[in-house]
Amino acid sequence: MEEKQMSLKTEKLGLMTDEQASFVRHQWWEHQHDDMKVDFDISGFGDRILREFSIRKGVWDPFKASGGRHARFLANNTRLFWNKNVLEIGSGTGLLGIVMALCGAERVTMSDISEFAVGNTEENVCRFGVETICDVRKSDLFEQVPEKYDTILWNIPFFPGNPPEGDTIAASMIMPPELFSRFLRESQDHLKKGGVVVVPSYSLGGESMDPLSVGKSLFKGERTWIYESRKGIQQGWLYITELRIHPSRA
């Protein structure tokens, strides 16, 4: 771990401010865990609990950061996926895609570039009985998902940089800004008419990771959820942004 941290510190955080880099290093350490299982109440009121949700070693823990809050946002905003065909990029444990499958999506495709994450997603899909709704693929963005979708969701890495090769936890936090631009550009070709791209983001990530800023030439964007997180390791303002292709470009 020490060797990875030094590599992350000295080579991969150059695009970040000192505050961002310090935050990323702290999160990286907090996500070094073994295989584990947790219970998660989707609604927060005990309506539906995911018992023994699997989080494998080398896969980002969504409950330690903002993923649990995003899952609850989806459970309370089914308009985004109800009876719709949905794609989740960067599925990780599969939490967000599984919540959409359980809460009314017609079809959910989940993809991740990490073998660890694909295996973790497949395990949870089977555990919670949504195999007939969900399709899990290993893919670099849209490489293995050529179809069109009503909704495309990516809980993006929040910080700009270049994660060390093979470090799946770092890659869950850090990405080159050009990768985000590529995602938004390619999303246009994979949206059905009237479709939406849903992107969580974080105030500390900065302008280069802000979907409203990066996507403004391609999409009409609106922040539909703003939340101030005061607890845990990811404190600050969390956002959900909905992006729709400009009418002039549709």
For residue range 9-38, list pLDDT tens digits in order. Answer: 545 677 899 999 999 999 999 999 999 999
Cβ-contact 190, 148 below 8 angstroms: yes
Query: What is the pLDDT confidence band of residue 247, given thresholds at 50, 70 and 90?
Result: confident
Mean pLDDT across the chain: 93
For residue range 106-144, list pLDDT tens digits in order. Answer: 999 999 999 999 999 999 999 999 999 999 999 999 999
pLDDT at 14: 76
The residue among 134 and 5 whose pLDDT is bigger is 134
pLDDT at 1: 40
pLDDT at 13: 75
As to burial, measured by CB atoms within 10 angstroms (0-12 exposed, 13-18 middle, 19+ buried), residue 163 is buried
Read off the tokens for 203.
């105030």
The pairing of beta strand 36-41 with beta strand 49-55: antiparallel
Could you please state the CATH topology (level 3) that the domain comprising 2-245 is classified under: Rossmann fold (3.40.50)
For residue range 204-231, list pLDDT tens digits in order. Answer: 999 999 999 999 999 999 999 999 999 8
pLDDT at 231: 87
Q: What is the pTM of this model?
A: 0.94
Residue with tokens 């990490």: 114
Cβ-contact 72, 44 below 8 angstroms: yes
